[in-house]
Amino acid sequence: MSVNLFRFGSVLHAVAVLALAVLVSCGTTARHYKGKEGTTDADGDIICMKHRQKVIEVDGYRQSDEICVLPDPDYIKWRIAFPMPRPLGVSSTRSAFYVEPVHYIYCSACEEAIKVKMEEEKKRRRTLSKFGLKTGG
Ligand SMILES: [Zn+2]
């Protein structure tokens, strides 16, 4: 009984191609969160329905109507998958771009999950570019 090295190499090649195919297809689509966004608990606190935790309330600032600072496209992409991300165009600190006082709420677990998704997306793109593949969305 002999081992056919050519065939073994083909199997390894097929596994590598399959792994790349999975890498290309996974994690690229942000599914829109369709459940209920929030509810209130017995104390009247707002709870994120996905993470079952109390939201954070912030006295922050929003962009004035004359200014539009575009967020990271990956942030826009992934925030739809979570019920209570930070509203767009707000900041907890006043700056040249964020000038209008505003009160807003968000779920810190939603924000953290978006950051994880964005980081996964960056890693995926780096890996794909190592193999000379286009990264697409
Ligand atoms: Zn949440």
Per residue in 10-69, pLDDT tens?
Answer: 655 555 555 544 444 455 788 999 989 999 999 999 999 999 999 999 999 999 888 888
Per residue in 81-135, pLDDT tens?
Answer: 999 999 999 999 999 999 999 999 999 999 999 999 999 999 999 999 988 887 6
Domain count within the chain = 1
Q: Is position 4 within any domain? A: no
Ligand 1 centroid to Cα of residue 7, in Å, is 49
pLDDT tier at 4 (50, 70, 90 boundaries)?
Answer: low
In the numeric block, which tokens belong to residue 11?
């199997």
At 126 the pLDDT is: 93
Q: Is position 41 within any domain? A: yes
Find the domain containing 80 and state its range.
Answer: 33-123
Ligand 1 centroid to Cα of residue 4, in Å, is 53
Q: Is position 72 within any domain? A: yes
Q: What angle do CA 66, 67, 69 make, to 5 degrees?
A: 160
Q: Which residues hold their Cβ within 5 A of ligand 1, which is an ion?
A: 48, 50-51, 84, 107, 109-110
C-alpha distance from residue 21 to each of 28, 30, 33 (Å): 12, 18, 26
Distance separating alpha carbons of residues 106 and 20, to the nearest angstrom: 36
Q: Is position 48 within any domain? A: yes
Q: Is position 105 within any domain? A: yes
Whether the pTM exceeds 0.85: the reply is: no
Long-range contacts of 70-73 (CB under 8 A, 24+ apart): 72/118
Q: Is position 5 within any domain? A: no
Q: Is position 54 within any domain? A: yes
Distance separating alpha carbons of residues 122 and 47, to the nearest angstrom: 30
Q: Is position 95 within any domain? A: yes
